[in-house]
Amino acid sequence: MTSIRNALTSLADMFAYPLRHSHYLELVNPLWTEHVLKARVVGVQDETADTRTLTLRPGRGWRSHRAGQFVRLGVPIDGQRHTRTYSISSAPAREDGCITVTVKTVDGGRVSQHLARRVVVGEYLPLGEPQGEFVLPESMPVHPLFITGGSGITPVMSMLRSYVLEYDVIPDTVHMHYAPHVQDVIFGAELGELQASQKHYQLHKYYTRASAQEASVHFSAQQLERACPDWREREVWACGPAAMLDAVEAHWEQAGLARQLHTERFHAMVAPLPGAGVKAGRVWFAASGVQAQSDGATVLLRVAEDAGLNPPHGCRMGICHGCNTTLVSGCVRDSRTGSLISEAGDTVQVCVCTAVGDVELAL
């Protein structure tokens, strides 16, 4: 059967040359294409004043995600295609085959503003494959501890929904969640329902701007001891602002329990800039024929975008390799580690690398 289908596909491609038959299918229904994966927006729902959930129906070729993974979403704005990475907030086993992503607007963030304010039902958005290691183990863990802040709730929401959908019950779980105010808690009503209906699910909410009390801290040892006295025995998933994750990582590191901790960051960790080692210079984007000035501290993706280019990219934090290009000459610094890349032909992730003096990239 497969070989007959393959033969028919090859025949159709022959007639469609120089395109593929999939390009013509795209005109009928963008979800039928094989050369590019797309999703149709089938629902939009406001979660808080600055957060919106998009329900997406992925097209042919989508493979189901694992709870906690993220996807790259293409966002066409004014003829330019931008790409951003969002955690999937829905459970993998949804009956309707749809997924949800929950987008929080970022101040000055053109793409997040567009997704959370202007995208409407019926639009088609390019979609990537699910990715990421911030996932639950295949078998149900006995004692999870979730620590989330702000929109860091989204991958964990996928995990909680996945428990309910697959097992009907959430196992013995402690969840510490941080938000500025009560009205900023994303999925607040659903979390409340879980708290009321799932007897092993303990939710502790901290409003970081609602009082001058201890709660204003994003994670502390005291909060942890109070909410989860048996934290040493639990496997931990933490996602949220960098300050919260730094504090959580330091705490588990100090306890010698770092192996029990899984974290997901929204931004790459950066090494301190080497002071005298920062060198401004010119950046030559060879394939684009564009030259730009770099201050030695701005990542090359931003340098390219500020020069009017629109290089392919995804996560903007060094995970997906969607921004990889090749070093032609010069030297760049990986801002996460401080290490230098100066061998012509080496791969450069422009979203996390800065120029050190004059640089030429294949881009």
Residue 198, number of CB atoms within 10 A of its CB: 18
Please report whether residue 318 would count as binding ligand FES according to CB under 6 A: yes
Token output for 116: 């959370």
To ligand FES, the closest distance from the beta carbon of 307 in angstroms equals 17
Q: Judged by CB, which is closer to ligand FES: 194, or 319?
A: 319
Among 175, 218, 313, 333, binds ligand FES (CB under 6 A): 313
Residue 342 in 3-state DSSP? coil
Instruction: Return the closest-CA partner of residue 268 out of 306, 320, 311.
Output: 320
Among 68, 74, 132, 322, binds ligand FES (CB under 6 A): 322
To ligand FES, the closest distance from the beta carbon of 350 in angstroms equals 7
Please report whether residue 319 would count as binding ligand FES according to CB under 6 A: yes
To ligand FES, the closest distance from the beta carbon of 316 in angstroms equals 5
To ligand FES, the closest distance from the beta carbon of 289 in angstroms equals 22
Q: CA geometry: angle at 32 spanning 31 and 37, to 5°? A: 55
To ligand FES, the closest distance from the beta carbon of 20 in angstroms equals 27
Q: Judged by CB, which is closer to ligand FES: 136, or 348?
A: 348
Please report whether residue 349 would count as binding ligand FES according to CB under 6 A: yes
Please report whether residue 71 would count as binding ligand FES according to CB under 6 A: no
Q: What share of the chain is helix, strand, coil (3-state, %, to 5)?
A: 30, 30, 40
Quote the CA–CA distance of 175 and 147 in Å, as a whole number. Answer: 6
To ligand FES, the closest distance from the beta carbon of 347 in angstroms equals 10
Among the listed ranges 101-109, 119-127, 209-217, 311-319, the one in contact with ligand FES (CB under 6 A) is 311-319
Q: How far, in whole angstroms, is CA 92 from its chain's centroid? A: 16
Please report whether residue 130 would count as binding ligand FES according to CB under 6 A: no
Q: Is the peptide bond before 241 cis (omega within 30 degrees of 0)?
A: no
Q: Judged by CB, which is closer to ligand FES: 157, or 353?
A: 353
Query: What is the DSSP secondary-structure string of 265-319?
Result: -SS---PPP-GGG---EEEEETTTTEEEEE-SSSBHHHHHHHTT-----SSSSSS
Report CA Rg, the chain: 23
Token output for 58: 């992925």
Beta strand pairing call for 235-239 and 144-149: parallel
To ligand FES, the closest distance from the beta carbon of 353 in angstroms equals 9
Q: Judged by CB, which is closer to ligand FES: 349, or 354?
A: 349
Among 199, 200, 209, 321, binds ligand FES (CB under 6 A): 321
Quote the CA–CA distance of 106 and 22 in Å, as a whole number. Answer: 36
Among the listed ranges 20-28, 121-129, 147-155, 319-327, the one in contact with ligand FES (CB under 6 A) is 319-327
Quote the CA–CA distance of 89 and 71 in Å, as a whole number. Answer: 11
Residue 162 in 3-state DSSP? helix
Contact present, 243 and 152 (Cβ < 8 Å): no
To ligand FES, the closest distance from the beta carbon of 322 in angstroms equals 5
Among 25, 115, 185, 323, binds ligand FES (CB under 6 A): 323
To ligand FES, the closest distance from the beta carbon of 319 in angstroms equals 5
Among the listed ranges 62-70, 248-256, 282-290, 317-325, the one in contact with ligand FES (CB under 6 A) is 317-325
Quote the CA–CA distance of 106 and 257 in Å, as a whole number. Answer: 33
Please report whether residue 84 would count as binding ligand FES according to CB under 6 A: no
Q: Judged by CB, which is closer to ligand FES: 59, or 318?
A: 318
Which residue ranges make up the site for ligand FES (CB under 6 A)? 313-316, 318-323, 349, 351
